[in-house]
Structure 1
Amino acid sequence: MKYLRLELRYPPELIHPMHRLVDESDAIGRDVLLHGSLFDETADTFLFYVEGDIDVYVDALRAVDRIREFEVTRIDETGYYVFLTQRRDGVDDAMFGSLRRTGIVVVPPIDFRPNGVARLTVLGDHGPLREALAALPDRIESEVLRIGEYDWRQHLFDPGLTDRQFDAVAAAVECGYYESPRAASVSEVADRIGASPSTASEHLRKAESAMMNAFMRLRDVG
């Protein structure tokens, strides 16, 4: 089953007021949709992870008329869960309507970033995925960041390695490069992936940097 890692860029009129906070206020660092329930025809229920000044976020929640109720749970000094129910409207359909179709699944989280950007993972068959992208409104810019075979275990910890970086790390593990004491050299890793030692070393350095940064982000959230 194929998956797409997408970046969608929305014009100002299609950005939810809460997500605008990432742009409009330095007090909010992250706004991530973790889970959502769309079974009701008139209202949706969501769980968000928010980093920043929660008082600023709560004031903004109270100012959005269609948010019916919400509950905030503190995780640590800067991280919070926000559980809310809101009335559905046309902006919601414009943002994600094309992705609500038979044959595809949007896999959370959806990470709302500055400048109207949302990053998300969508999986399904080739045809429905292609149709979903084609059905996006012209005002929404889309970019496919990554495509591949879906494996939910990967998304438990996904540092976003390129294929060559992954191949280099896999070869390094297989030949004992990461054993203690080290049982293989960079040259042996290079031979396994058909690259020069300098290229193999660069792949390993970039992969290690990406993995450690991704691990620390997990620690920050946990």
Structure 2
Amino acid sequence: MKYLRLELRYPPALIHPIHRLVDESDAVERDVLLHGSLFDETADTFLFYVEGDIDVYAEALRSVDRIREFEITRIDESGHYVFLTQRRDAVDEAMFGSLRRTGVVVVPPIDFRPDGVARLTVLGDHEPLRDALAGLPDRIDSEVLRIGEYDWRQHLFDPELTDRQFDALAAAVECGYYESPRAASVEDVADRIDAAPSTASEHLRKAESAMMKSFIDLRDVA
């Protein structure tokens, strides 16, 4: 089963008023769609994870007519769950209508970032995935960040390593580079991945950095 890691970039007219907060206000640091129910023909229900000033976020929710109701649950000082129901409109269809098709599954979370960017994972067969991308409105720029075989276990913790970074880490673990005391050297890792020691060392440094940052982000959310 193939998956695509996508970055979608929306023009201002297609950015949801709440997600626009990420651009316009320093009060909201993170806005992540965790789950959604689309069974109703006129309204959708979503669960978001929000980091930042929840009072500013709540005030923005109240100002959007299409949001019917919402409930906020505090996790810690900066993190909150926001459970809301909103009326579906043409903007929603423009954003995600093409991805709602037979043979395609959008795998949450969807991370809404500054500058109208949303990052998400989509899985399915080649042709439905191709058609889903082709069906996106011309105003939405899309970039495929990664393509691979889907593994649910990977998405529990995914630091977004390149293939070479992953190969270097795997080789380092297999040959004992991370054992204590260390049982292998960078040169041993380099031999296993057929690279120069300096290249292997760079792969390991970048992979370790990405993993540590991803782990801290995961701990922060948890």
- Answer yes or no: same fold by TM over 0.5: yes
Q: Which residue of 2 aligns with 1:198?
A: 198
User: Aligned ranges for residues 76-91 of structure 1 at < 5 Å?
Assistant: 76-91=76-91
Unaligned ranges ≥5, structure 1? none
* TM-score, normalised via structure 1 length: 0.99
Q: Which residue of 2 aligns with 1:70?
A: 70
Deviations 1:132-152 (A, max 9, x none): 000000000000000000000
Runs (4+) of structure 1 exceeding 2 A deviation are none
Q: Which residue of 2 aligns with 1:160?
A: 160
Q: How far apart, CA to CA, are the structure 1 residues paired with 2:186 and 2:12?
A: 49
Letter in 2 for 1:196: A
**What is the SS of the residue equivalent to 1:97?**
helix
Q: How far apart, CA to CA, are the structure 2 residues paired with 1:136 and 1:96?
A: 8
* TM-score, normalised via structure 2 length: 0.99
Q: Which residue of 2 aligns with 1:150?
A: 150
Deviations 1:20-53 (A, max 9, x none): 0001111000000000000011100000000110
Q: How far apart, CA to CA, are the structure 1 residues paired with 2:23 and 2:209?
A: 28
The question of 1:36 aligning with 2:36 is answered yes
Letter in 1 for 2:156: L
Q: How far apart, CA to CA, are the structure 1 residues paired with 2:104 and 2:63?
A: 34
Deviations 1:45-75 (A, max 9, x none): 0000001100000000000001000000001
Deviations 1:150-176 (A, max 9, x none): 000000000000000000000000001
The question of 1:24 aligning with 2:44 is answered no
Q: Which residue of 2 aligns with 1:50?
A: 50
Q: How far apart, CA to CA, are the structure 1 residues paired with 2:88 and 2:135?
A: 20
Q: Which residue of 1 aligns with 2:135?
A: 135
Letter in 2 for 1:193: I
**What is the SS of the residue equivalent to 2:13?**
helix
Q: How far apart, CA to CA, are the structure 1 residues paired with 2:151 and 2:219?
A: 22
Q: How far apart, CA to CA, are the structure 1 residues paired with 2:194 and 2:89?
A: 54
Letter in 1 for 2:25: S
**What is the SS of the residue equivalent to 2:6?**
strand
Q: How far apart, CA to CA, are the structure 1 residues paired with 2:93 and 2:174?
A: 48
Q: Which residue of 1 aligns with 2:60?
A: 60
Letter in 1 for 2:115: N
Q: How far apart, CA to CA, are the structure 2 residues paired with 1:29 and 1:180?
A: 38
Q: How far apart, CA to CA, are the structure 2 residues paired with 1:62 and 1:179?
A: 54
Give the length in aligned residue pairs: 222
Q: How far apart, CA to CA, are the structure 2 residues paired with 1:12 and 1:182?
A: 53
The question of 1:101 aligning with 2:101 is answered yes
Q: Which residue of 2 aligns with 1:178?
A: 178
**What is the SS of the residue equivalent to 1:202?**
helix
The question of 1:118 aligning with 2:118 is answered yes
